[in-house]
Amino acid sequence: MPGGEPASYERVAECAVLAERLGFDSVWVSDHFYLSIAKYGGGETLHDALEPLTTLAGLAAATERIRLGTLALCTPFRHPTVLAKAAATLDAFAHGRVDIGLGAGWYEPEFADFGYEFPGTRERFDMLEETLQVLELLLGEGPVDFAGRHYSLVGAQCLPRSPQQPRLPVWVGAKGGPRALRLAARHADGWNASWRWTPESYGEKARLADRTCEQESRDPATLRRSVGLYALVGEDERDLAERYRALQRWTPNGALDREPLEGWMRDTLTGTPERVLGLLGEYSAFGVEEVVVNVASMPFAVFDPAAVELFAEEILGPARDL
């Protein structure tokens, strides 16, 4: 949060309501027992983190239009049948506004502290694959039988079904490795990649996604694409430089102190409105339909509400015409 205060439900709800008022299309929450930003240079301090599905249930009541998503649920933390039931119920609360993003999980200390085994990468992706398969079945029409190595179902049904039909959107959140894209092509509605990309590096992964879909006999145009990006817009070059200095001062542990603005701009959505819209046009050419905007230098943070408002004022309208 702007002053470094904990991410309480009340503050998160304020952000969601602000996003809806400003005209953003969606808001997304992460999935951690606590949030460590050491990976991003922010130091070893553990930060508060809200459970995502119950948080989104609260946001469903606090908002009316904006879509609500997870980016991304850690698959090993929940049995897929419980997840399917929770997702369908949440979608009912939200009147059909929910997206579920899933990932294999990565933060090992979190697993150990809360008594979860931390399997190797291959097994975590095996669990992700089975979870995607179970959701694909349970969020459709039942009854469902499934026999996997980690999960099994006999005559299971998810009733009542979620309002979105044939099912609510399910996303794979991953950098775009071969197996992740294969799972997305086989079992998901879309693929998200976050947080630092150049259009060129993303384009390489997008082309791999296209080839993977073709290998799986899927039309690449049916795999939805979203990308998460750190973002900062300035009214002009001088304003941008001032806002970047403010972002450097805000960034925990001085993690951005040694990175010049030019370096930060290289693989983030940063610049004047003209530059940012140009970058969005490049991503659109690779099939990206939605950008998850992180107006800060750490994931799932808001460093200055005024910076969010300026982004909305300068970018949202023109971006929809790309």
Backbone angles phi, psi at 155, to 5 degrees: 65, 30
Containing 322, the helix (H) or strand (E) segment is: none
**Cα diameter, the chain:** 63
Q: Is 72 helix (H, G, I), strand (E, B) or coil?
A: strand
* 153 assigned to some structural domain: yes
User: Beta-carbon neighbour count of residue 103 at 10 Å?
Assistant: 22
* 16 assigned to some structural domain: yes
Burial class (CB in 10 A: 0-12, 13-18, 19+), 169: middle
DSSP single-letter state for residue 312: I
CATH number for 83: 3.20.20.30
pLDDT for the residue 41: 80
Q: Which of 104, 267, 265, 81 is nearest to 175 (CA)?
A: 104
The whole-angstrom separation of Cα 165 and Cα 161 is 9
User: Beta-carbon neighbour count of residue 320 at 10 Å?
Assistant: 9
For residue 217, CA distances in Å to 143, 144, 186 come to: 27, 24, 9
For residue 171, CA distances in Å to 113, 149, 168, 223 come to: 27, 22, 10, 10
Number of domains the chain contains: 1
* 214 assigned to some structural domain: no
Q: Which residue range is the domain that position 91 belongs to?
A: 1-173
Burial class (CB in 10 A: 0-12, 13-18, 19+), 2: middle
* 188 assigned to some structural domain: no
DSSP string, 158-209: -SSPPSSSS---EEEESS--HHHHHHHHHH-SEEEEEE---HHHHHHHHHHH
For residue 181, CA distances in Å to 85, 104, 212 come to: 26, 13, 7
Each residue's pLDDT tens digit in the chain (322 positions)? 888 777 899 999 999 999 999 999 999 999 999 887 777 787 777 888 999 999 999 999 999 999 999 999 999 999 999 999 999 999 999 999 999 999 999 999 999 999 999 999 999 999 999 999 999 999 998 899 999 999 999 999 999 999 999 999 999 999 999 999 999 999 999 999 999 999 999 999 999 999 999 999 999 999 999 999 999 999 999 999 999 999 999 998 899 999 999 999 999 999 999 999 999 999 999 999 999 999 999 999 999 999 999 999 999 999 998 8
